[in-house]
Amino acid sequence: MGDLLEHDALSLSGMLARKELSAVELMQATLAQITAWNPRVNAIVSAIDPDQALALAAKADNAKRMGWLHGIPVAIKDLANAQGLETSMGSPVFAGQVAQADDLYVARMRAAGALIIGKTNVPEFGLGSHTFNPVHGATVNPYDPGRSAGGSSGGAAAALATRMLAIADGSDMMGSLRNPAAWCNVYGLRPTWGRIPNEPTGDMYLHPLATNGPMGRSPADIAALLEVQAGRDPVQPFGVAHNNVSRGLDAPIQGMRIGWLADWGGAYPMEDGIVQRCDAALQVFRDLGAVVEHLAPPFPASKIWDSWQVLRWFAVAAKLEPLYRQEKTRAQLKPAAIWEIENGLALSAMQVQRASALRSEWFRAAAVMFEQFDAVVLPTAQVWPFPVDDIHPTRINGQPMDTYHRWMEVVVPASLIGLPALSVPVGFGVNGLPMGMQLIGAARADNTVLHLGQAYHQATLWPQKMPPRQP
């Protein structure tokens, strides 16, 4: 059983289905791994009692299989509700709040047989790509405990890298699952917006920026989890019809066309070694028969950023304004949240309209771009994992960052218009730290980026070749 947790989630599922492995045995191995690793990285929070976890596994062993996740331990990102577990969102405002029901995609995972054993750590309200908060503390990078694991899905990425979990959920507004995947040497997919429905609460029309998504140690695992999480919700106005995103993942990619955007013509400052590491990784696609071409910026980065700033302020303020209005809860909000809210509250309706028009303009330009390319590529991050005690990077190569999240700008082109984007590992820098690059597809082309990602994965196997050192 020593190498059991090196298997990917689909392999474990097959072993469980064939009775080569029991859910109790898998849970015992998982709990032992959590005992060994979690005190070091602080990725899993609000965990259930081990005896309760083993009882769940025993029940699964004696039950009819519910789906491919049957008997597999999972922990849910602490921005989502899992019935009976605390949903703190990393905020003292909600510390101790126990969920009375599952969120929609969590219910779908549970219905497929997942055994929910805890939550994964996040930044406060998911703001900022650095997982620390006053409720559960900081999640550190498995490859260097003095460095950040990224965020907001930093707990999920660190748990995957350390084999505490075989599969995980994440969410992504501004790179929240892509950035930690890159920094923890795993995979993360931001799916086409609407493929995984959000919660049917409050306004369902005006704020299509964030989405939930799957994370794993292979694109095949990610595709399988996406098929569980995805599917239109009849009480929501938008959504993408469910289809088989796993089809043809192992087919050759010869002749597929990839556009390499690098640093968007110099618009995105990058720390040394990042563009070079991604450029070297693209040779894998050439070796597999794909065509890789340098691509000039298809749209002004400044327009994308201007649109993003306004629409993000608008969305965050709409969500958190009730907490801001109350003096007691406002005092418990971190400065980044207050900054987002106050900027959002100051917007006029016409400012939001102009930002949405810019977003529409970028979508049209991107559609033309994807007439020539099956996918385009950008680095997943502009900086290497930074010291865990820092709040956020303030400069890149001497260039000041004018907001707390400007250093994450490279993820915005996909986020703004809801494109599918898969972060794949590209190896390690001379500093020994991981990095990734984004494979970005046309709207609703999730299968295409997963297909490219799976071919790349089979040729590289970065998560399997370079796991973090055992504590």
Task: Give residue-wise pLDDT tens across range 96-150.
Answer: 999 999 999 999 999 999 999 999 999 999 999 999 999 999 999 999 999 999 9
CB-CB neighbours of 444 under 10 Å: 18
d(CA 156, CA 375): 26
CA distances, 444 to each of 95, 130, 385, 431 (Å): 37, 29, 31, 37
Q: State residue 470's pLDDT score.
A: 87
CA distances, 198 to each of 119, 208, 222, 312 (Å): 18, 9, 18, 17
* Alpha helix (H) residue ranges in 191-273: 219-229
Whether 45 contacts 85, CB under 8 Å:
no
> Per-residue pLDDT for 198 more than 90?
yes
Angle (deg, nearest 10), helices 301-325 and 349-369: 140
Q: State residue 471's pLDDT score.
A: 80
Residues in the chain: 471
One-letter amino acid at 388 equals V
**Interval 305-328: pLDDT, tens:** 999 999 999 999 999 999 999 999
CB-CB neighbours of 55 under 10 Å: 14
Whether 265 contacts 233, CB under 8 Å:
no
CB-CB neighbours of 129 under 10 Å: 30
Beta strand spans in 67-210 (E)? 73-77, 115-120, 132-133, 137-138, 140-141, 144-148, 167-172, 187-190
CB-CB neighbours of 322 under 10 Å: 9
DSSP conformation class of 86: B
**Interval 408-434: pLDDT, tens:** 999 999 999 999 999 999 999 999 999
Q: Residue 211 forms beta bridges with which residues?
A: 172
d(CA 226, CA 224): 5
Whether 443 contacts 417, CB under 8 Å:
yes
Give the least confident one: 244-248, 329-333, 430-434: 244-248
Strand duo 115-120 + 73-77: pairing: parallel
**Interval 162-188: pLDDT, tens:** 999 999 999 999 999 999 999 999 999
Whether 157 contacts 181, CB under 8 Å:
yes
Annotated domain spans of the chain: 4-465
Whether 128 contacts 392, CB under 8 Å:
yes
**Positive or negative, the Cα torsion across 71, 200, 86, 223?**
positive
Residue 343 dihedral angles phi and psi, to the nearest 5°: -65, -40
Q: State residue 468's pLDDT score.
A: 98
For domain 4-465, the CATH superfamily is Amidase signature (AS) domain (3.90.1300.10)
d(CA 435, CA 280): 12
Q: State residue 395's pLDDT score.
A: 98
Q: Output the six-digit token pair for 284.
A: 């894998």
Starting at the earlier edge strand, list the strands of the sheet with 44-45. Answer: 44-45, 115-120, 73-77
254's CB contacts (< 8 A; 6+ apart) are 288, 289, 290
CB-CB neighbours of 232 under 10 Å: 14
Confidence of residue 244 (pLDDT cuts 50, 70, 90): confident
User: What is the share, in percent, of the chain residues with pLDDT greater than 70?
Assistant: 100
Helix count (H) and strand count (E) of the chain? 15, 17
Strand duo 211-216 + 167-172: pairing: antiparallel
d(CA 150, CA 170): 12
Whether 435 contacts 379, CB under 8 Å:
yes
SS3 call for 340 = helix
Q: What would the mean pLDDT of 30-42 be, rounded to a whole number? A: 98
The catalytic residues are 77, 152, 176
Whether 204 contacts 163, CB under 8 Å:
no
Confidence of residue 242 (pLDDT cuts 50, 70, 90): confident
Residue 98 dihedral angles phi and psi, to the nearest 5°: -100, 130
Write down the mean pLDDT value for the chain. Answer: 97
> Per-residue pLDDT for 2 more than 60?
no
CA distances, 443 to each of 208, 266, 291, 296 (Å): 14, 25, 21, 20
Q: What would the mean pLDDT of 374-403 be, rounded to a whole number? A: 98
Confidence of residue 1 (pLDDT cuts 50, 70, 90): very low
Give burial (CB, 10 Å; 0-12/13-18/19+) of 442: buried
Q: What would the mean pLDDT of 74-101 be, rounded to a whole number? A: 98
CA distances, 116 to each of 68, 74, 251, 404 (Å): 14, 5, 33, 33
Q: State residue 201's pLDDT score.
A: 93
